């Protein structure tokens, strides 16, 4: 990369690029909050009839945030195509008869005292029937009969010729949710562990479970966090790495963490978390804080803390999050650490925004960034996981009208979709443990953080879903920033990208696609764990391992399957791998910078974690 120190300093001071105009737009947006008009062909989210909005909003009060019209259309598509495939119906009927015969034989073998082989194996991610008691009569019949029925419906909804891919996935997903309601694990007298607990306690487990349910319901009505959250308060038990808030505007607080070493690497690290989460997932308890780990390794770390918006922020746009957020943070860090480039890191949606910012800066020939790191972040939303089940025109129309009524999407409403994606782990397991067994699962720091939900502004979330998820504008070269079309291939700085094996939000194969859209060296990590737990992968975390490989810009492309096949696993956390990569791409260590910008008065506003993170 060509050094452009003098030009970059001029850009930061004058707000102009080499053409003398583009960054001036950005500067105006950053510091006044002005919003540039969207292209004329962009869908107008404000062009709706109030009566239509109110109707959708009313339906939204009695549903988990899913468009009933979208579901009905999907089932009509499936049913009509199934009706014109008599051979498929014949095969499904044959499978049903075969399953009934197999189950009858299985029951007979049990009655004769034999130990029959399992007819259906559980999927690797299915934990509902783990335990020896599920292999005993009659509970083994319950679970095997259920799994046979589940498998039949999977075949009946997944493999129907002519059904659109989206409708097929919606029908399969919806059917699975309905079937799960009748799982033997959820029905108390069919669950051997609930039966044993009931006999041991004389039924008091149900009394305890009822009390737990009532407590949870009252907390939900009053908007209170779950029991145990009081043990994980930001600034007390979590988010306690020492630091100062050195800048604040209507959307962000910028935290600068205090150095823990005499000398630090010259280039600072800026972290951009997603605004659908509180930033302190990267600064949880001292034993699993990524921020603390970086600071102790000699890095100067800055963190963006997003404001939790309310109805007054309904018109904040996606560009506002870029201009008032990432670009403003880069400018302020440039004042605190003058003349140095920045190692920028982004998590989830924050990583997508960081890619957009990097492409925009590259177009302006601004070399403020030294490297880019993203955690579970996508740029191509063609295969963005099961979240796409909730993304189509009907669904977005429904969501937008719900947000229009409130001015935002509430955290609990947004959480509904994520909970449905992992209903067995996040909904039904809790029903069994807390309400049927009558036991309370102790909250840990990650669970408490997950319950500390945020809201999303009406305009921003609508633009995000339509422009990125639905229309996939970023990967297709149609995404505009401040009226400038950007291209990811303009990014020339090295990229470090992290994907997680069990990610249901950003599947690692989708994250891996950055190889297709960049023209630079890409170092990719595939780590065990999920979207959150795989990133919070501290040193010494049991069972953690990862794969790592760097692909140069001149290397031939490896598809995800081939990459995974030829890349060996390494034991332990991926954090040291990333920190080593940062060190390699950093200059020699220097004296640590002062806290805060010399151009601000006062230089420091208040101590971390700041005020925005406290807004519920």
Where does the pLDDT of residue 57 fall: very low under 50, low under 70, confident under 90, or very high at 90 and above?
low
317, 350, 332, 290: which is closest to 536 by C-alpha?
Answer: 290
Are residues 544 and 600 located together in one domain of the fold? Answer: yes
DSSP 374-387: EES--S--TT-GGG
Q: Which one of the listed residues 348, 474, 481, 493 is annotated catalytic?
A: 348
Where does the pLDDT of residue 591 fall: very low under 50, low under 70, confident under 90, or very high at 90 and above?
very high
User: CA-to-CA distance for 488 and 362, rounded, in angstroms?
Assistant: 9
Give the rounded percent of residues in the chain with a pLDDT score beyond 90.
67
Q: Which residues contact 149 (CB under 8 A, 6 or more apart)?
A: 99, 179
User: CA-to-CA distance for 519 and 493, rounded, in angstroms?
Assistant: 9
396, two tokens: 């977005």
How many other C-beta atoms lie within 10 A of the C-beta of residue 308? 20
The answer on pLDDT for 24 being more than 50 is: no
Q: Report the pLDDT averaged over residues 202-230.
A: 89
- 77, part of any domain: yes
Element (H, E) at 173: helix 165-180
Model pLDDT for residues 262-274, shown as the tens digit of each residue: 999 999 999 999 9
The answer on pLDDT for 463 being more than 80 is: yes
- 416, part of any domain: no
Pairing of strands 569-571, 545-551: antiparallel
Kindly list the distances between the CA atom of residue 605 and the CA atoms of 25, 225, 473, in Å, as whole numbers in the listed order: 28, 29, 38
User: CA-to-CA distance for 504 and 425, rounded, in angstroms?
Assistant: 12
Q: C-alpha 215: how far from its chain's center?
A: 28
Q: CA dihedral in degrees (481, 486, 492, 493; nearest 10)?
A: 30
- What pLDDT score does 504 carry? 86
Q: C-alpha 425: how far from its chain's center?
A: 16
- 263, part of any domain: yes
Are residues 119 and 259 located together in one domain of the fold? Answer: no
Are residues 160 and 73 located together in one domain of the fold? Answer: yes
Q: Which domain holds residue 178?
A: 68-201
Q: What is the largest CA-CA distance in the chain?
A: 87
- 431, part of any domain: no
Q: Name the H helices within 223-275.
A: none
Are residues 29 and 112 located together in one domain of the fold? Answer: no
CA angle 272, 278, 283 (to 5 degrees): 75
- What pLDDT score does 317 carry? 94
Where does the pLDDT of residue 16 fall: very low under 50, low under 70, confident under 90, or very high at 90 and above?
very low
Q: Name the H helices within 285-364.
A: 290-296, 318-320, 328-336, 349-363
- What pLDDT score does 61 carry? 57
- What pLDDT score does 55 carry? 64
- 523, part of any domain: yes
User: CA-to-CA distance for 331 and 396, rounded, in angstroms?
Assistant: 35
Q: Report the pLDDT averaged over residues 235-241.
A: 96
Are residues 248 and 191 located together in one domain of the fold? Answer: no
CATH number of the domain that 350 lies in?
A: 3.40.50.1820
User: CA-to-CA distance for 74 and 92, rounded, in angstroms?
Assistant: 20
Are residues 360 and 481 located together in one domain of the fold? Answer: yes
Between 242 and 554, the more confident residue is: 242
Q: Name the H helices within 424-476.
A: 429-430, 445-451, 458-463
DSSP 301-346: EEEEEE----GGGTT--HHHIIIIIIIHHHHHHHHHSTT--EEEEE
Residue 373: strand pairing partners: 345, 496
User: CA-to-CA distance for 398 and 70, rounded, in angstroms?
Assistant: 9
267, 345, 337: which is closest to 299 by C-alpha?
Answer: 267
Are residues 195 and 240 located together in one domain of the fold? Answer: no
Residue 369: strand pairing partners: 342
- 182, part of any domain: yes
Give the rounded percent of residues in the chain with a pLDDT score beyond 70.
88
- What pLDDT score does 59 carry? 61
Model pLDDT for residues 128-156, shown as the tens digit of each residue: 898 899 999 999 999 999 999 999 999 99
- What pLDDT score does 116 carry? 86
The answer on pLDDT for 286 being more than 60 is: yes
Count of alpha carbons within 13 Å of 3, Cβ hemisphere only?
4
Are residues 370 and 510 located together in one domain of the fold? Answer: yes
348 is catalytic: yes
Where does the pLDDT of residue 479 fall: very low under 50, low under 70, confident under 90, or very high at 90 and above?
very high
Are residues 493 and 578 located together in one domain of the fold? Answer: yes
DSSP 54-103: HHHHHHHTTSSS--HHHHHHHHHHHHHHHHT-HHHHHHHHHHHHHHHHHH
- 21, part of any domain: yes
Between 308 and 50, the more confident residue is: 308
Q: Is 83 helix (H, G, I), strand (E, B) or coil?
A: helix
Element (H, E) at 485: strand 484-485
Are residues 167 and 241 located together in one domain of the fold? Answer: no
320, 305, 392, 313: which is closest to 356 by C-alpha?
Answer: 320
Model pLDDT for residues 383-407, shown as the tens digit of each residue: 887 777 888 887 887 778 777 778 8
Are residues 556 and 610 located together in one domain of the fold? Answer: yes
**How many separate domains does the chain show?**
2
Model pLDDT for residues 67-78, shown as the tens digit of each residue: 778 889 999 999
By the 8 A CB rule, do 252 and 328 touch?
Answer: yes
End of a domain among 146, 177, 201? 201
- What pLDDT score does 36 carry? 38
Between 188 and 43, the more confident residue is: 188
- 521, part of any domain: yes
The answer on pLDDT for 198 being more than 70 is: yes
Are residues 178 and 318 located together in one domain of the fold? Answer: no
167, 170, 209: which is closest to 188 by C-alpha?
Answer: 209
By the 8 A CB rule, do 578 and 539 touch?
Answer: no
- What pLDDT score does 9 carry? 38
Average pLDDT, the chain: 87
Annotate 519-549 with b (16+ C-beta within 10 A) or e (fewer).
ebbbbbbbbbbbbbebbbbbeebeebbbbbb
């Amino acid at each position: 990369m060509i050094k452009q120190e003098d030009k970059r300093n001029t850009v930061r001071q004058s707000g102009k690029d080499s053409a003398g105009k583009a960054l001036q737009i950005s500067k105006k947006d950053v510091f006044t909050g002005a919003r540039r008009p969207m292209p004329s062909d962009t869908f107008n989210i404000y062009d709706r009839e109030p009566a239509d909005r109110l109707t959708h909003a009313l339906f939204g009060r009695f549903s988990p945030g899913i468009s009933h019209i979208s579901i009905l259309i999907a089932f009509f598509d499936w049913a009509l195509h199934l009706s014109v495939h008599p051979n498929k119906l014949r095969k499904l009927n044959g499978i049903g008869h075969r399953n009934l015969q197999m189950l009858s034989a299985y029951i007979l073998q049990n009655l004769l005292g034999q130990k029959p082989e399992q007819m259906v194996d559980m999927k690797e991610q299915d934990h509902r029937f783990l335990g020896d008691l599920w292999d005993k009569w009659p509970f083994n019949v319950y679970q095997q009969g259920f799994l046979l029925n589940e498998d039949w419906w999977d075949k009946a909804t997944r493999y129907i010729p002519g059904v659109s891919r989206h409708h097929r996935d919606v029908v399969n997903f919806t059917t699975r949710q309905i079937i799960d309601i009748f799982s033997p694990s959820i029905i108390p007298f069919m669950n051997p562990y609930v039966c044993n607990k009931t006999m041991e306690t004389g039924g008091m487990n149900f009394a305890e479970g009822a009390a737990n349910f009532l407590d949870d319901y009252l907390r939900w009505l009053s908007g209170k966090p779950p029991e145990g959250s009081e043990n994980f308060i930001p600034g007390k038990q979590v988010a306690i790495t020492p630091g100062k808030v050195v800048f604040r505007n209507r959307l962000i607080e910028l935290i600068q963490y205090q150095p823990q070493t005499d000398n630090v690497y010259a280039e600072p690290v800026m972290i951009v978390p997603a605004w659908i989460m509180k930033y302190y997932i990267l600064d949880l308890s001292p034993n699993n804080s990524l921020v603390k780990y970086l600071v102790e390794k000699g890095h100067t770390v800055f963190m963006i803390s997003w404001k939790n918006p309310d109805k007054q922020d309904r018109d904040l746009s996606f560009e506002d999050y870029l201009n008032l957020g990432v670009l403003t943070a880069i400018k302020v860090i440039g004042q605190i650490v003058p003349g140095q480039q920045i190692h920028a890191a982004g998590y989830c949606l924050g990583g997508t925004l960081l890619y957009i910012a990097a492409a925009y800066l590259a177009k302006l020939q601004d070399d403020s960034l030294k490297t880019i790191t993203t955690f579970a972040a996508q740029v191509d939303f063609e295969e963005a996981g099961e979240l796409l089940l909730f993304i189509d025109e009907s669904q977005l129309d429904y969501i937008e009208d719900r947000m229009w009524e409130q001015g935002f999407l509430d955290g609990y409403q947004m959480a509904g979709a994520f909970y449905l994606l992992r209903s067995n782990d996040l909904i039904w397991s809790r029903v069994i443990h807390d309400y049927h067994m009558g036991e309370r699962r102790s909250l840990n720091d990650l669970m408490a953080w997950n319950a500390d939900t945020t809201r999303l502004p009406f305009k921003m979330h609508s633009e995000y879903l339509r422009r990125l998820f639905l229309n996939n504008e970023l990967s297709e070269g149609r995404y505009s920033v401040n009226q400038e079309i950007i291209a990811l291939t303009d990014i020339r700085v090295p990229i470090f990208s992290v994907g997680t094996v069990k990610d249901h939000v950003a599947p690692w194969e989708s994250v891996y696609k950055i190889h297709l859209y960049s023209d630079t060296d890409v170092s990719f990590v595939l780590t065990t764990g999920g979207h959150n737990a795989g990133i919070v992968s501290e040193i010494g975390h049991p069972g953690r391992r990862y794969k790592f490989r760097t692909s140069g810009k001149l290397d031939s492309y490896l598809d995800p399957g081939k990459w995974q096949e030829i890349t060996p696993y390494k034991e332990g956390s991926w954090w040291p791998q990333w920190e080593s990569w940062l060190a390699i791409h950093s200059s020699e260590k220097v004296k640590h910078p002062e806290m805060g910008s010399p151009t601000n008065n006062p230089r420091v506003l208040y101590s971390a974690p700041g005020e925005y993170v406290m807004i519920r």
